[in-house]
Amino acid sequence: MADEPHESKTKILNAALRVVRAKGYSATRVEDICAAAGLTKGSFFHHFKGKEELAIAAARHWGAVTGAMFAAAPYHRQAEPLDRLFAYIDFRKALISGDPAQFSCFAGTTVQEVFDTHPTIRDACSATISSHAATLEADIGAAMRQYRVNGQWTAKTLALHTQAVIQGAFILAKATQDPSVALASLDHLRRYFELLFHPQPEETEP
Amino acid sequence: MADEPHESKTKILNAALRVVRAKGYSATRVEDICAAAGLTKGSFFHHFKGKEELAIAAARHWGAVTGAMFAAAPYHRQAEPLDRLFAYIDFRKALISGDPAQFSCFAGTTVQEVFDTHPTIRDACSATISSHAATLEADIGAAMRQYRVNGQWTAKTLALHTQAVIQGAFILAKATQDPSVALASLDHLRRYFELLFHPQPEETEP
């Protein structure tokens, strides 16, 4: 019994992630989320004052859920930093198939709409994007040192660029209704990494 | 007098571009657009059956306005295809400053929300993104031939990738409230072009 409120709260948060990714934040009504969660409005308002408070909690929930998923993902098993980065991009590609409402980003979708009208939701979404990007920085920095890459850029800007490509690829997939357009963009991102960190044959072959 | 209805229609379309880019499609009410246009709801409904018809017309208007702007832009004056592509990216960078509602994309913002719920609006937005991307294909193809680039990719996928980066950069700028994050992503895009089309010194120097 003690767990019940918590369980219903999680159901509401998961429903919010599904519904908002399918129809956007503004078009999503509290009723839609309750219907998707199989719960009453009474239950909703027991946990949240309204849609804005829900959206902030949903952004944090999105960060927690995807953060755990990426932390457990197989790309970390690669021994070399650059190989982990390639495997990360390949893992992102593997997630892209079927319906964009399933593979697109709650934070990117929501921030697109609310950046000016709901600063607290925007900042909660921004935090999930930035903190995910930051998980790539150590490997990018290590690859920069390993391949002696010194450019007019930093590990942080390249990590954020990967997220720009992924977010933009989601928009193209939504626009064209064709996941292969998004996959082609991630292939270009992977090729950029190959060209930035090109192994010198004399250094890498035994 | 004969021009008046046409003028009010254009005012409504321009107001739609401004308001939707600031608060998203779903949050935009007909009243908001009328207020921004300085016109009555009677005038609005004289021209449009409702918000969906307006959005389709606004997507086409966005394509026409930005199409004319890009067609007249100085990057076309470069003599070499690759230089035109670099100048295009530099031109896109020059457009990014101040408020994201001013420099972001009506089509990308709208398609993010309506891809599943309003297929006719989605397709009108998709057409403007695809047709703009297509304007880069001839120069990319020419640069591929000039620098003997033969990869697992086409001029079309690279043209679409430029738009993915730009759309994603807009999302990061909205999330972080910092246009420099978007500019850094466009710098990475420019660097990708530099690495893809690297002039062979013996071929390019006299």
- CA of B86, closest CA in chain A: separation in Å? 16
Q: Which residues of A touch B59 (CB under 8 A)?
A: none
Query: Alpha-carbon distance B169 to B40, whole Å?
Result: 36
Is B198 strand, coil or helix? coil
Q: Quick check: A158 and B181 in contact, CB under 8 A?
A: no
The pLDDT assigned to B205 comes to 42
Q: Which two structure tokens, joined as six digits, stand for B88?
A: 């295009």
Per-residue CA distances from A40 to A25, A45, A98, B137 (Å): 20, 9, 30, 52
- Three-state secondary structure call for residue B10: helix
What is the Rg, in whole angstroms, of the alpha carbon atoms belonging to chain A?
Answer: 19
pLDDT digits (tens, 9 = 90+) for A169-189: 999 999 999 999 999 999 999
Whether the pLDDT of residue A37 is over 70: the answer is yes
pLDDT tens for each residue of B14-70: 999 999 999 999 999 999 999 999 999 999 999 999 999 999 999 999 999 999 999
CA B126 to CA B130: how far, in whole Å?
6
Tokens of A75: 């790309």
The pLDDT confidence band at residue A199, using thresholds 50, 70 and 90, is low
Please compute the mean of the pLDDT values over residues A56-65 and round it to a whole number: 98
Average per-residue pLDDT for chain A: 94
Residue A151's pLDDT is 80
**pLDDT averaged over chain B?**
94
* Chain B residues with CB-CB distance to A172 below 8 A: 129, 160, 163-164, 167
Contact criterion met (CB < 8 Å) for A152 and B108 = no
Q: For residue A200, is pLDDT > 80?
A: no
Whether residue A197 contacts residue A82, with contact meaning beta carbons closer than 8 Å, is answered with yes
Work out the minimum CA distance from B1 to partner chain A, whole angstroms.
Answer: 38
- CB proximity list for B83: less than 8 A, separation 6 or greater: none
pLDDT digits (tens, 9 = 90+) for A91-130: 999 999 999 999 999 999 999 999 999 999 999 999 999 9
Nearest Cα of chain B lies from the Cα of A58 at a distance, in angstroms, of 16
Token pair of B79 as six digits? 């003599």
Instruction: Read off the pLDDT of each residue in B154-167 and give the average, rounded to a whole number.
Output: 98
pLDDT of residue A140 exceeding 90, the answer is yes
Query: How far, CA to CA in Å, does B51 sit from each of B36, B121, B148?
Result: 15, 10, 49
> What's the rounded Cα separation, in Å, for the pair A85 and B30?
46
Give B203's Cβ-side CA count (13 Å radius). Answer: 7
CA gap B190, B103 in Å, rounded: 19
Interface test with B, best of A112, A130, A157 (most B CBs within 10 A): A112
CB atoms within 10 A of CB A80: 13
> A177: which DSSP letter?
T
